[in-house]
Amino acid sequence: MQLKTNVAGQSLVLIFALFAALWSASAVQAASVLDPDACKLAGRWLDPNTGKALKPRNLLSRLSKQSVVLLGESHTVKEHHLWQAQMLSGLHAYKPNLVIGFEMFPRSAQPVLDQWSKGLLSESQFLKKSGWDKVWGYGSSFYMPLFNIARQNRLPIVALNVERKLVSRVGKEGWKAVPVSEREGLSDPAQASNAYRLGLANVYRQKLKHRRPTDQQSSGSESEANLATIIESEGFGRFVDAQLTWDRAMAEALAEAKKNNPDALVVGVLGRGHIEYGYGVPHQLADLGVKDVSVLLPVEVGGVCENLESNIADAVFLVGKEEETKSPQQKPRLGVMIEKAKNGVRVLKVLDGSVAQTAKMAAGDIIVKAAGLALQDSGDLIKIIQQQTPGTWLPMRIQRGDQNLQLIAKFPMLTETSP
């Protein structure tokens, strides 16, 4: 089974699942061919292009002959990660020579991944040395079953991502403005198709609507602009560049893994927004000469399945409804993307609906102190936040331009907040 790689462009995934959902909702795709009866039972495979059920054994056999298999996910849905673990085990049975790539890690974590897959680290050592809370932040319990499968079978693990600061810089300055020597070795991404850009423009418009009036990167009139105007804007161009950077980075890492292991099956574990409809990583892989790629997705039974577009993936696996398999409670989260700054921790992005947004934090803020303690790096802030208990308030000293502000982060009683 081969992915239809004639569709150009990439699909969007920002760090947060919100944008993946917006992308899926905004993309203009082929109508669903799945009937309600086919979508009722969890635990079965469906071909969204024909609506027919697939036999697991036949499917796994075909997948084992591909160059790359991509397993999508929504980062905080437990069922998706259980399915991914099942897929790794199933694929390994058909193709023992397996290499697994993870979106969750930047290239700088590769030495730690090598140690882990060789059985040289404990779980706590692995999470600490890889900087899990800094580089990803979603609950490690979601992913440890996958990591343990790799370690138990001594399978190589590949870091697919780049540092967040590179993507952030591209989003601010544009791809061409970043010197070649500072692109972490990435080549120029393949250009986005018109269909991809249109879907991405819908996401960008939603993003603008949720920005604060104080955000100097946008104005009220820009957030209300029509799609044609948005697509022609410089801000949107930089936004697209940032997404292309992310997808190109992961595609190059997967292609390199295949080049270094020509007889292996390379499996990528990454957010579904990076692979849906053949946009994103699959398109970048095709541009790099890797064309025998399969896209697989977990899909919720019922209405979600019934409204599935026919060209969203090569095959989908039906899982139970999310409310039936609630994810474990996460540690308290402020809801920001951060990096180390000279005098504290700089806020790169504030997630909509987060504790940070309620506290009126904004991109560009520098958090100097939290709970009265000076911050030396992002790890200091993460440690303080994770010590908070539900219902507590966290005072923070903020530097915003020439202003010194005191903000209060109020953590809800139930802390299933965003990362």
Strand 393-400 to strand 403-410: parallel, antiparallel, or no bridges (unpaired)?
antiparallel
Residues with Cβ within 8 Å of 165's Cβ and at least 6 positions away in sequence, in order, are: 339, 348
Tell me the mean pLDDT in the region 160-172: 92
Query: Does residue 83 lie in a domain region?
Result: yes
Q: What is the pLDDT of residue 221?
A: 47
Query: Are both 101 and 154 inside the same structural domain?
Result: yes
Query: Does residue 41 lie in a domain region?
Result: yes
Query: Are both 317 and 341 inside the same structural domain?
Result: no
Q: Is the predicted pLDDT of residue 216 greater than 90, yes or no? A: no
Structural domain ending residue among the three candidates 324, 354, 384: 324
Query: Are both 249 and 373 inside the same structural domain?
Result: no
Query: Are both 25 and 119 inside the same structural domain?
Result: yes
Query: Are both 153 and 67 inside the same structural domain?
Result: yes
Query: Does residue 279 lie in a domain region?
Result: yes
pLDDT band at 1 (very low <50, low <70, confident <90, very high): very low
Q: What is the pLDDT of residue 298?
A: 96
Query: Are both 356 and 320 inside the same structural domain?
Result: no
| Apex 314 CA angle, 309 and 319, nearest 5 | 75
Three-state secondary structure of the chain:
CCCCCCCCCCCCCCCCHHHHHHHHHHCCCCCCCCCHHHHCCCCCEECCCCCCEECHHHHHHHHCCCCEEEECCCCCCHHHHHHHHHHHHHHHHHCCCEEEEEEEEEHHHHHHHHHHHCCCCCHHHHHHHCCHHHHCCCCHHHHHHHHHHHHHCCCCEEEEECCHHHHHHHHHHCHHHCCHHHCCCCCCCCCCCHHHHHHHHHHHHHHHHCCCCCCCCCCHHHHCCCHHHHHHCHHHHHHHHHHHHHHHHHHHHHHHHHHHCCCCEEEEECCHHHCHHHCCHHHHHHHCCCCCEEEEEEEECCHHHHCCCCCCCCEEEEECCHHHCCCCCCCCCCCEEEEEECCEEEEEEECCCCHHHHCCCCCCCEEEEECCEECCCHHHHHHHHHCCCCCCEEEEEEEECCEEEEEEEECCCCCCCCC
Tell me the mean pLDDT in the region 192-202: 81
Query: Are both 356 and 251 inside the same structural domain?
Result: no
Q: What is the pLDDT of residue 400?
A: 93
Higher pLDDT, 370 or 216: 370
Query: Does residue 179 lie in a domain region?
Result: no
Structural domain ending residue among the three candidates 296, 324, 352: 324
Query: Are both 318 and 346 inside the same structural domain?
Result: no
Query: Does residue 186 lie in a domain region?
Result: no
Structural domain ending residue among the three candidates 324, 344, 363: 324
- Residue 351 sits in a domain whose CATH number is 2.30.42.10
- Residue 22 sits in a domain whose CATH number is 3.40.50.11550
Query: Are both 280 and 405 inside the same structural domain?
Result: no
- Domain hosting residue 347, numbered range: 336-410
Query: Does residue 230 lie in a domain region?
Result: no
Query: Does residue 202 lie in a domain region?
Result: no
pLDDT tens profile 76-109: 899 999 999 999 999 999 999 999 999 999 999 9
**Residue 305 · residue 299 · CB < 8 Å:** yes
Query: Are both 131 and 38 inside the same structural domain?
Result: yes
pLDDT tens profile 270-329: 999 899 999 999 999 999 999 899 999 999 998 888 888 888 999 999 999 875 444 455
Query: Does residue 360 lie in a domain region?
Result: yes
Query: Are both 344 and 403 inside the same structural domain?
Result: yes
Query: Are both 153 and 73 inside the same structural domain?
Result: yes
What total of structural domains would you count in the chain? 2
Can you give the pTM of this predicted structure? 0.73
